């Protein structure tokens, strides 16, 4: 299927306190995203640290997002797992709770075959009538959705597209060629948002837009309008900030950046650690250079 997601989507961080999820802060961040023009919120993706959350916390976060934002912005919930049965169960729960779409990362650690990937997405899609986005991030999972495999997966009726974060533009272009007209291509890597959009990507799923939702949306809008000069100028300004947001493993810098903007986002859960002082200064400098008001 095509047309489910267009524009900009934010891969939301999950703010934590020592007691659990900071729902007050999460609500503030949702409001910040909607005010910035974000088209969709991706919750419980990699940036949201679901691997360190209990099933109860995940369900509570989804329920809160539905209460706070349903009908105001599209809600896409991450349900992927390295156990197909768990992914199916979480997909059914997300559907019941009111998600608008599903993001399903490839099964990590197990290193399944390409045929295993097809079977995995068939099972997830059979558990819901919602649009399902495949999430390809082999640097995290150890599994890569090859273009020929994605071409097969694209034949599943409710596959809406692929969030590509492989970092390999040759592969992205080949995938785009094979799925064009069947389902959509989404950028899952901020440094490659512009070229993926120019290759026919219909949306970006961005970490950077936690900080600057309006600017990320503007980048997409400029490309859609054919204003490539304006898009390049904006992308040139965004790239140093995007680089700073990945100075350590995601979401360590993104969470630190939201704290610097005045959100009580807390720190990542172990085994991730708080940002190192030198990297925090790099992040702070990039944010100031972009014109963001940074908390002292």
Burial call 98-131: b when 16+ CB within 10 Å, e when fewer? ebbbbbbbbbbeeebeeebbbebbbebbebbebb
Tell me whether the omega of the peptide bond preceding residue 141 falls within 30 degrees of 0, making it cis.
no
Burial of 42 (0-12, 13-18, 19+ CB in 10 A): buried
What residues act catalytically? 135, 163
The answer to whether the peptide bond before residue 144 is cis (omega within 30 degrees of 0) is no
Residue length, the chain?
296
Residue 36 φ/ψ, nearest 5 degrees: -80, -5
């Amino acid at each position: 299927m095509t047309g489910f997601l267009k524009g900009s989507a934010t891969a939301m961080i999950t703010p934590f306190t020592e007691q659990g999820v900071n729902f007050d802060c999460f609500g503030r961040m949702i409001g910040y995203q909607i005010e910035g023009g974000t088209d969709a919120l991706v919750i419980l993706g990699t940036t949201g640290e679901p691997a360190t959350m209990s099933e109860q916390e995940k369900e509570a976060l989804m329920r809160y997002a539905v209460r706070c934002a349903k009908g105001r912005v599209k809600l896409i919930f991450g349900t992927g797992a390295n156990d197909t049965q768990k992914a199916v169960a979480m997909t059914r729960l997300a559907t019941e709770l009111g998600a608008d779409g599903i993001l399903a990362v490839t099964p990590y650690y197990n290193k399944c075959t390409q045929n295993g990937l097809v079977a995995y997405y068939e099972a997830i899609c059979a558990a819901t009538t919602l649009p399902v986005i495949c999430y390809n991030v082999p640097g995290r999972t150890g599994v890569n959705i090859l273009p020929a495999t994605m071409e097969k997966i694209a034949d599943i009726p409710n596959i809406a597209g692929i969030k590509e974060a492989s970092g390999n533009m040759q592969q992205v272009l080949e995938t785009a060629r094979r799925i064009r007209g069947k389902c959509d291509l989404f950028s899952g890597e901020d440094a490659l948002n512009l070229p993926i959009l120019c290759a026919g990507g219909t949306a970006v799923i961005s970490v950077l837009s936690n900080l600057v939702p309006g600017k990320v949306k503007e980048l997409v809008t400029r490309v859609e309008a054919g204003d490539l000069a304006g898009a390049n100028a904006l992308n040139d300004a965004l790239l140093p900030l995007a680089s700073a947001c990945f100075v350590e493993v995601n979401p360590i810098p993104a969470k630190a950046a939201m704290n610097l903007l005045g959100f009580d986002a807390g720190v990542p859960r172990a085994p991730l650690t708080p940002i190192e002082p030198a990297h925090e200064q790099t992040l702070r400098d990039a944010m100031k250079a972009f014109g963001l008001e940074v908390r002292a």
